[in-house]
Amino acid sequence: MHPSASDLRGRAGRISGVGTTMAAVDLKSLILRLDDVCRATLESAAGFALMRTHYNVEVEHWIAKLAGENDADFIAVLNHYGVEQGRLAADLNRALDKMKTGNSRPPGLAPDVVDLAKQAWLLASLDQGQSRVRSGHILWAMVADDALARR
């Protein structure tokens, strides 16, 4: 079973370096800004991280799940630029295979996932006047951030 959005919001206290009360409010608001595809794939990414016994839900987990959504903006952009989805999946699996395993508890959200969602929200709301973050905004935010783009 995949964790729900409320489970993800409840994990806010485990985001390293962030106080529980403030993080819970910010994370709850942020998750509510995601469209259905982004929210569902983030929840699925948490289940994926749990299944692999990873300690955190990382950007790679989320991207792997977004890459499986054929009707998402994310896939349309990848197709437009000729990105081979099989190669992307293989690269993501290699990255996921290198992550530390052995966690017996539900994983927390990695700070990079929260930062990515925040950046996507800024792009969606300020640059495009959108009320919800779509998967294309996630991809845009990822390639616009040097550290995330190198991952």
Span 60-106, pLDDT tens digits: 999 999 999 998 999 999 999 999 999 999 999 999 999 999 999 99
Residue 110 has pLDDT above 60, yes or no: yes
The residue count for the chain: 151
Q: State the residue for tokens 């749990």.
A: 50
Q: State the residue for tokens 């969606």.
A: 124
* Interaxial angle between packed helices 36-51 and 59-66, expressed in degrees from 0 to 180 and rounded to the nearest 10: 120
Residue 142 has pLDDT above 80, yes or no: yes
pTM of the complete model beyond 0.75: yes
Indicate the pLDDT class of residue 11, thresholds 50, 70 and 90.
very low
Distance, CA of 61 to CA of 44 (rounded, Å):
9
Quick one: CATH architecture of 5-149? Orthogonal Bundle (1.10)
